[in-house]
Every structure is written in structure tokens, then in C-alpha cells.
Amino acid sequence: LRFRLAGYPRKHNEGRVEVFYNEEWGTICDDDFTLANAHVLCRHLGFVAATGWAHSAKYGKGVGRIWLDNVNCGGSEKSIEDCRHRGWGNSDCSHEEDAGVVCKDERIPGFKDSNVIEVRTLRAQGPGGGKWPRWSPCSRSPAQRHRSRSQSGVGGARAARRGRQGGRGPHWWLHRGALSTPRSPCRLVAERQQLNYRLHSVSCAGTEVHLSLCAFEFVRGNASAPCAAGMPAVVSCAPGPLFAAAGTHKKKPRQQQQGQPRIRLKGGAKVGEGRVEVLKSSEWGTVCDDHWNLQSASVVCRELGFGSAKEALTGARMGQGTGPIHMSEVQCEGTETSLWHCPLKNITEEDCKHSEDAAVRCNVPYMGYEELIRLAGGRTVSEGRVEVKRGNKWGTVCSDGWTTKEAMVACRQLGLGYSLHAVTETWYWDASNVTEMVLSGVKCEGHEMSLSHCQHHGVSLSCKNTGTRFAAGVICSETASDLLLHAPLVQETAYIEDRPLHMLYCAAEENCLSSSARRANWPYGHRRLLRFSSQIHNNGRADFRPKAGRHSWVWHECH
């Protein structure tokens, strides 16, 4: 049995329940439906539990068969098949009675479906089991890399696979044996390590998003000579553009960047995640989540210089975009170098809504940036005074010019999401013995992965307000609202209107008129007003605060 959530409008963890039985998708009738039924169905879908359920086709009417009716579960069943029901396909319902569920937004550990992969990650080890230094014996020239690709006895598809999931861009090579001499640098590295083989006979097609999805065999624990005909597989990787620039700690001037990117991620709290947006006819737009899966998401991640995708997100989980929706029903094979090379459907606004915007979470290489920053003195782990490590010394950051952009970079480097507040006075967080300032003049654009990548004064520190009282601090959050004015609507609806003063008392009380209105001869005369409609979208991932019910909002004329 296979299950899925469908319908509109909905979030990723709710919807009409559809079940694939006897080679056909169908729905479940809401007769006798209970929360216990929803618990069992949510576990089928990979969520830990249900928080509610819906009747009367709340998420729209389905099509095809109604497979189950009068379902009665206790809640602890492993499968919906173990619950009592009228039998498969035996129903007296119509699709106006299709049942839906609302699942708790928490995945079952280790659960895998077509859009999520949660398995153990790979790591590359340097000499002695540590991290590779900036230069290693296995770092070769382009000529050596080319020669290795031709001579390698191990499949290039496997190399590309491990490179893509590890997060170092699409340019990887895997080799075995000597490069040009019997004792190559890579063989010397391998011989110095204690060999402990886990896999052999790995065979990938090249479209997999993780090595665990390739064909392979485990090395038996009692094998006398594992990998007798070979040696440890070694990969050599070229970092993606974002990490190549980060390695130099300098941002390339805009004019030196080759062409304008045609794809980007927006709305994500961390590096390598966000809503997918593509550029078409000089206008950015989103991608509809119809048929959105890990293969297509991995193409996006590799195009941006990350590894493969670890999650393909649907239902605008990274916030709703604005403007056009450029793509729908994207169906990549997994080998494409750009999302634009995949089969897709150009759509109209009627086909898809922004509540169905696709998003991704990519595998990102471990760069160690989070080890160079910490928070001190906060009430929770997500707030506090910012302390950074410069050389072997921890110190504070000057708060001169400390804004939301700098706080965004700090929260991203900490792995704590978005910045809710950029704090410039932190005397109430003075709970650390660190008193020396080590960073000043920090000015970020907001996209950097580390505060050290932003402009700063270097060793020539300069700060107006010295002392720990004026050290920079942050309050971070996993989610945030993001308000965006619909500017075209203002342009389209603006007009001039002459309005009598006796109709503008409310507007005057609300201070919505210009100051010269106070000198007018009330209630006689007129005012000339600029009138327009306004629409503000929250395309973030949190409610806008303060949150209040409709009854507590008061309508005013000038609004």
C-alpha cells in the first residue's frame, strides 16, 4: 500500500488521504472516521501522530475509487489493513465525503518516502582519520584529474553520486590504485590508515540522490581479505562557487561573476535550503510542486553548488512566493546540470497557486563555521551576546552599525535560523568572562555564511562604544514572518479624489491627513487625496505578530 496527501488548500502535513491499492489511487470515506484512524494514516505517511482530521471533502473532492468506508481503528495498528472496515472498494459514499487528516509536523526517525531521505551521511577522512587540510596529497592538478578519470577502474557514476550527496558540487572523480607511479600520494595516505571496509561492489546508475540507493554489498565481518583486488575508494572534489568564494574569504565583485544566475533559493533559514525561484524573461518566479521529487530537487542543489537534495519540500513549506509561477510538473532524471534542462510544463495561474510552491533542503559540506561563533548569557540557546573566535582567542563584536543583516549572518553561522532582533546593548547578558573585543566594523550583505566573510576592520579595531555593555547580540528563530507589499497593485489602483471635509473627521483623528488640514475651515471645504488599494503578503514561515483575531481590529476610513 502507498499513501499520499492531496487537495487544496493545504499544508505539507495535511490533506485528503489517498491510498494506492490494486494499481489505482482512491480515497477514504469519512463515515465513522475518528482520530485513531488519523493516527494510523499519519504513521503511514511518515509522521509521528495526528492532531486532527477533516470530513466532507474539506480538501476538495477526489477522483476514482473510494477504497475504504466505515474504517474503525484502535490507534495502535501498524497498518490501515489491520483496522476494521467494509472491505476494499465496498462503499456507499460519494467523493463529497472524502476524509482528510492533519498530521503532527514531526517525521518518524529514519522514515523514507519519495521526497525525503533520512539515512546516515558520508564523510571524507583525511590522513590519520582527521579532516583534510586545505592541501592534501590527493589534491591533483587538472591534468592528473583528467588522467585519473580515464584510467580509473571504478565507475564515474559512483564518484559523481558521492560527490553530489556530500555537498561539494558536481565535479568529482573517484580513482583506485596508482595514478602514475606504484606509490602515489593517495596510496600512501591509504596505507597509513587502519583499513576498515564496509561496502564493496558499489554500482550506481548516476541518478541516485544517495549512495545507499545504489546497488552494493556489505563486507562480511569474517571476510579474511576484504577488497583484496582493490584499495579504499578516494574522491577528489571541486567546491561549488559559493564555497570556493568562501574559501578565499573574499566576495568576488559583481562584474566579475559570470552571467546572472537563473535559479536561486529564497526564504530558507539555513544555507542550502529555501523556496526554488527561477528567472524567465527577466522576471523571477516560482516552481509548482506537482510531481516535485528528490531527483528534481537534487538538480537544483547541484546547479547551486551544493550536494544532492536531502528533502524535496511541497506545499510552500519555505513560504509562498509572489509573481509568476514559471514551471510545473518538473520531471528530472537526476543527471541534468540545470533545472531548465528537465522536462517541464509551462503553466498559467489557474493551474497552480503559490500555496503549492516547491522548495528544497540540500546537503551542504561541513565547513566548521559554527565552531568559530557562540552565544553567551541568553535565557535560551537562541539568544545571547555574540562571541567569535579570532585565531586562538574568543572575544566580542562591536555593535556599531550592527543591524538585522549582520544578525542574520550570525544566526545562520550558528545554525539557529533567522534573526528576530539585532541587539546593540547586551549588559543584561553579561554572563561570560570574555571582555575583549576582537571584531569591529562588521558590514554584511546578508547572504554570507560567516561573519568573517563580511567586511570588517581586520586587526585595526575601531569602536565608538567600547566595553561589554555595547557588545553585539542576537535573538534567533527557526521561523520568521516576511511582509512584502504588492507594489503593482498600488500602481494600478492609484487615483486622485476630492473629498468633502465633513467625511474626513475619522481620517483627521487618525492623523492620516497632511498638517495643513488643521488650518482648514471644518466642516466646509474639500481635501484632494491620493487614494489606492494596498495588499501586503506574508511570504515568510511564521505568523505576523502581534497576532489578533478579526474582532479586535478596527476599520478606519484612511486605512
List C-alpha distances in Å: 509 to 499, 516, 553: 16, 14, 17
389 falls within a domain: yes
Q: Between vectors from CA 363 to CA 359 and to CA 367, what angle results, nearest 5°?
A: 130
Q: Are residues 351 and 434 in the same domain?
A: no
For residue range 417-455, list pLDDT tens digits in order.
899 999 998 888 877 788 899 999 999 998 888 999 999
Q: 512: how many CB neighbours lie within 10 A of its CB?
A: 15
Q: Are residues 9 and 99 in the same domain?
A: yes
C-alpha cell of residue 14: 495535511
For residue range 174-203, list pLDDT tens digits in order.
333 323 333 455 554 555 455 778 888 888
Q: Is 38 helix (H, G, I), strand (E, B) or coil?
A: helix
Taking Cα atoms as reference points, which of 283, 292, 276, 356 lies closest to residue 323? 283
Structural domain that includes position 64: 2-103
Taking Cα atoms as reference points, which of 210, 209, 188, 207 lies closest to residue 199? 210
Q: How much is the pLDDT for 149?
A: 34
List C-alpha distances in Å: 78 to 37, 40, 74, 87, 428: 11, 7, 10, 18, 51
Q: How much is the pLDDT for 174?
A: 34
Q: 272: how many CB neighbours lie within 10 A of its CB?
A: 22
551 falls within a domain: no
Q: How much is the pLDDT for 50?
A: 94
Domain count for the chain, please give it. Answer: 4
Backbone phi, psi, residue 494, to 5°? -70, 140
62 falls within a domain: yes
529 strand-pairing partners: 497
Q: Are residues 270 and 327 in the same domain?
A: yes
Residues whose CB falls within 8 Å of the CB of residue 15, separated by 6 or more in sequence, listed in order? 5, 6, 7, 59, 100, 101
Cis amide leading into 182 (omega within 30): no
Q: Which of 86, 103, 120 is the last residue of a domain?
A: 103
Q: Which helix (H) or strand (E) holds 148?
A: helix 142-151
Q: How far apart are CA 100 and CA 201, in angstroms?
A: 45
pTM strictly above 0.95:
no
Q: How much is the pLDDT for 201?
A: 85
pLDDT < 50: residue spans in the chain: 118-120, 126-156, 158-160, 167-183, 188, 192, 247-258
Dmax over Cα atoms in the chain, in whole Å? 103
Q: How much is the pLDDT for 488?
A: 87
203 falls within a domain: no
Q: How much is the pLDDT for 170?
A: 34
482 falls within a domain: no
Q: How far apart are CA 328 and CA 343, in angstroms?
A: 10
Residue where the block lists cell 488521504: 17
Residues whose CB falls within 8 Å of the CB of residue 23, separated by 6 or more in sequence, listed in order? none
192 falls within a domain: no
Q: Is 189 helix (H, G, I), strand (E, B) or coil?
A: helix
Residues whose CB falls within 8 Å of the CB of residue 223, separated by 6 or more in sequence, listed in order? none
Q: How much is the pLDDT for 165?
A: 54
Number of separate helices (H) and strands (E) present in the chain = 9, 26
Q: Which of 336, 362, 388 is the last residue of a domain?
A: 362
Q: How far apart are CA 459 and CA 481, in angstroms?
A: 37
120 falls within a domain: no
250 falls within a domain: no
Q: Which of 316, 335, 362 is the last residue of a domain?
A: 362
Backbone phi, psi, residue 151, to 5°? -90, -10
Q: How much is the pLDDT for 27?
A: 95
Q: How much is the pLDDT for 186?
A: 55
Q: What is the CATH number of the domain that holds 89?
A: 3.10.250.10
